[in-house]
Chains A and B, each alone.
Chain A
């Protein structure tokens, strides 16, 4: 089954404790992206990747890192989480042509105390 998986689905952590949210897709997609969803703000893009070893900032990249060492994986790293990073995070992937739909993971709800 074609899908995007994220882990963990729920995470409660404390300020400053490094964490990684994993994202994996099994569709051989070139494009992958991370979004955060906050009430009243919709989805905002954090980082995206056009292919292996190619990443770029989205609209709200501060406080986040990503890597794309393999085509299927695109982890989101929070080196020193802060409470304002409490949010619902979505990973998405898409084939490497514009106009194609993005496939979304189920989401990771992160709470930073």
Chain B
């Protein structure tokens, strides 16, 4: 079975600075990878996903992530963050042949300050 580890529970960063949120997964088979964002008092929204093909995936709001099969990682990056990026970010994995279930990491709280 697959599992997901988000290496940082909290990431404080100043506005306009770059940020990287780290995600590692373990699985014995190929996986689909997702990043979701949860703004305060809201449900989760999809930021981006990797299914196959190019390892650099671009998502909404200027975020991108790079799939690294050898490192089993899917780190999320943004070159310049805004106050409005303050949110909880979840990495998730699913296995193509195991149905549609998502296995979520425990989340990383991104706090952007002026």
Q: Are A45 and B32 in contact (CB under 8 A)?
A: no
A43, B100: Cβ atoms closer than 8 Å: no
Interface bin, chain B: 20 to 34
A31 and B100 within 8 A (CB): yes
Say yes or no: A99 contacts B101, CB within 8 Å.
no
Across the interface, A40 reaches (CB within 8 A) one of B9, B41, B45, B46, namely B9
Per DSSP, chain B at the interface is loop
* In-complex Cβ contact of B51 among A90, A99, A105, A106 (8 A): A99
Would you call B106 and A41 a contact (CB within 8 A)? yes
Contact assessment for B102 and A102 in the assembled complex, using a CB-CB cutoff below 8 Å: yes
A24 adjacent to chain B (CB < 8 Å): no
A33 at the interface (CB under 8 A from B): yes
Determine which residue in B41, B43, B45, B102 has the highest number of CB atoms from chain A within 10 A of its CB, and name it: B43
Find out whether the CB atom of B100 lies under 8 angstroms from the CB atom of A98: yes
Within 8 A of A (CB), among B79-110: 90, 94, 96-97, 99-102, 104-107
Which residues of B come within 8 Å of A, CB atoms? 9, 32, 34, 36, 41-46, 49, 51, 90, 94, 96-97, 99-102, 104-107
